[in-house]
A and B are shown apart, each in its own frame.
Chain A
Amino acid sequence: MDWRDRHFWVVVLAGLALGTLGVLLSVWGNPANSGICVSCFIENSAGALGLHNNTRMQYLRPELIGFLLGALASAVIGREFRARGGSAPLLRLVAGIFLIVGCSVFIGCPIKLLLRLSAGDLTAVAGVAGLVCGVWLGVKGAVKGVELGPQQVERTGNGLVMPFLFLLLLAFLIIRPDFINFSTNGGGTEAAPWLWALASGLLLGALAQRSQFCITGSIRDIFLVGRRSYLHWGLGTFVLSALALNIATGRMHLGMYGQPGAHLEHLWSFLGMALVGWISVLIGGCPFRQVVKAGEGNTDAGLVVVGMFIGGAVTQSWGIAATAAGVSLYGKVAVLAGLAFVLGVSLLFRQREE
């Protein structure tokens, strides 16, 4: 590790900002332990766009818009904005749907997984084990030749489609036209002031773009290159800062029972996060990283984001998403279908030695 390397400090700063704002956004009004949760934000935003009918989960989350636009700004300033794509695009869209399936069965994305754990939610331990296991399986697959194919450079306009759509979402958030839904009760009404949320999202998007920080990427790098990568420092800083702030703000409730937005079906928490970890390695990043990459002009990641919105809609409309009462039959079926999908992809996309 080189302490003088600027990139190391950017990674640490990204982890620190993610942990700090992850807790602070909850303090400012977001649901408990959900200061930052990309899958929850996507489910809320899909509801706001009228893609599902759960009236308690409808809000255009400013943080989500900020992640992508912050990444765009940072990529443009750093001259890293490059339109590229064309690596199994349709498959990535389906992968995006299953990413949200896995998250909704666990109740949260990998960032929320660690926020839940740092707030003392011991039910998240099964999710951590599942995520690590899923990433490990993904890494094993990559080493054995599973890859979705190379990307090509595309025309700049292609890379600008997702930023344009998210700018449109920002306009909808500000103007609030009649066709956009906003919950009047339930989790969709629990929100930090929108300007603070947007500013936090922009900052985190920019830092994540500069650092390339991602939860599953950090775990993947530990398996692949050990301590030579800096990402695990970001991961450590994230968990420690969230833990410290949770204790400082009285949000630390160590235990297994009665945790906010959690259930006790540990096997399904494990499998849900295993699915997320495995898919994330296959497509090159967790849900958060996909949003950031879409802001950098990566159209493949853009399609994953579109898939995640479809996933957000179907998990809510079809009763796939888990609740505090547990995981529904549809949720269990969807996770197993997701695992069948990722196994099928691994078989079909494996480059075998002659």
Chain B
Amino acid sequence: MGPMKNDYFDKILWLLLGSVLAALAFLLWQGQHREGALAKGGSRAMERELTNQARLMLLQKLYGPVEELRRKGELQSALLKLDELSSQYPGEAHGYILQGEILQQMGVFDAALASYVAGIRLNGAYVDRRSTLSQREALDRLVAEGERSIVPQAKANPDNRTLAKALANLNYLKSRLAGGCE
């Protein structure tokens, strides 16, 4: 069968297709002008920014008392306060990150690592460079300290389960800091 010529029916189809495409273009052009930012995804970005800001303010309000106790050097009281908050807000990553910071300050290194890991597994924003919650610098220091203290100990005591767990946590943090797809 050779190529067919455009008959009447084809011409009507072409005409209708042209009309529909013109209507579509008009509708998009009108929508762009009427809704402007909406069509460019501005509202979604604004919504996310507002959520982030609101979340940050809520975290500051909730964990403010813990930070205050920490500043005063009352680390045990700060940990107790965190325990209280974690029962009210289970699964909130920020509590684990603060706990990690306090435990690190107290010199309980392996427990600090475990807290940081728990927090980051719940919310990866703490390792993001651009996030307002970013803790990258503190985590870099923590990993460097871990390389000095945990790695040689774990190598010397391969059967020690606590050290093995701490090493696994350290490797997890290293991997997250190294980036890559999630």
A interface residues (Cβ-Cβ under 8 A, vs B): 31-34, 37, 40, 43, 54, 56-57, 107-108, 112, 175-178, 180-182, 184-187, 189-190, 253, 257-264, 321, 323-325
Whether the pair A186, B182 counts as a contact (CB closer than 8 A) is: yes
Residue of A nearest to B121 (CB): A325
Q: Is B75 an interface residue (CB 8 A)?
A: no
Query: In the complex, what distance in Å separates the CA atom of A325 from the CA atom of B180?
Result: 13
Contacts of A33 in B (CB 8 A): 180
6 A-B residue pairings within 8 Å (CB atoms): A32-B179, A34-B180, A176-B41, A178-B40, A180-B41, A325-B121
User: Are A258 and B180 in touch, CB under 8 angstroms?
Assistant: no
Q: Are A56 and B182 in contact (CB under 8 A)?
A: yes
Contact for B41 among A177, A258, A262, CB less than 8 A: A177
User: Taking the complex as formed, is B15 at the interface, i.e. its CB lies under 8 A from any CB of chain A?
Assistant: no
Is B45 an interface position by the 8 A CB rule? yes
Please name the 4 residue pairs, one residue from A and one from B, whose CB atoms are nearest each other, closest first: A261-B180, A258-B174, A260-B180, A260-B178
A177 touches B39 (CB 8 A): yes
CB distance from A61 to the nearest CB of B (A): 11
Closest B residue to A323 by CB, please name it. Answer: B182
Residue among A56, A107, A184, A185 with max Cβ neighbours from chain B (10 Å)? A185
Q: Does B33 contact A (CB under 8 A)?
A: no
**Residue pair B181, A108 in contact (C-beta under 8 Å):** yes
CA distance in complex: A325, B171 (Å): 9
Task: Report whether A34 and B48 are in contact in the complex, using a CB–CB cutoff of 8 Å.
Answer: no
CA separation between A39 and B182, bound complex, in Å? 12
Known: A40-B181, A261-B181. A184 touches B175 (CB 8 A): no
Docked complex Cα distance between A336 and B87 (Å): 37
Docked-complex contact B48 and A187, CB < 8 angstroms = no
A325 B172 Cβ-Cβ under 8 A: yes
Residue ID in chain B nearest A253 by CB atoms: B178
Does A31 contact B181, Cβ atoms closer than 8 Å?
A: yes
In the complex, whether B52 has a CB less than 8 A from a CB of chain A is yes
Closest A residue to B173 using CB positions: A258
Query: How big is chain B's contact interface, by range?
Result: 20 to 34
A112 to B49, CA, bound (A): 33
Q: Contact check, B41 vs A182: say whether CB atoms are below 8 A apart.
A: yes
**Residue B44 at the chain A interface, CB threshold 8 Å:** yes
Residues B142-164 near A (CB distance < 8 A)? none
**Residue contact A176 to B40, C-beta cutoff 8 Å:** yes
Our pick among B43, B121, B125, B178 for the contact of A185 (Cβ within 8 Å) is B125
Let me know if B174 and A257 touch, CB within 8 A.
yes
Residues of B within 8 A of A177 (CB): 39-41
**Once the chains are docked, how many angstroms separate the CA of A27 from the CA of B175?**
18
The residue from A175, A184, A262 contacting B180, defined by CB atoms under 8 A apart? A262
Complex partner residue of A34 from B40, B117, B131, B181, CB under 8 angstroms = B181
Docked Cα-Cα span, A40 to B49, in Å, equals 25
Q: Mark B35-51, 1 if CB is under 8 A from A, else 0.
A: 00011111111001100
B39, B128, B171, B178 interface centre (most CB from chain A within 10 Å): B178
Which residues from chain B contact A264 at a C-beta distance below 8 Å?
Answer: 168, 171
On chain B, the residues within 8 Å of A263 by CB distance are 175
Given contacts A186-B125, A260-B175, contact A32 B180 (CB under 8 A): yes
Q: Give the chain A neighbours of B48 by CB distance below 8 A.
A: 184
C-beta contact mask, B47-73 vs A, less than 8 Å → 1, else 0?
011001000000000000000000000
Contact A178 B43 (CB under 8 A): yes
Query: Quick one: which of A180, A257, A259, A264 has the most chain B CB within 10 A?
Result: A257
- Complex alpha-carbon distance, A112 and B42, angstroms: 33
A-facing residues in B92-130 (Cβ within 8 Å): 117, 121, 124-125, 128, 130
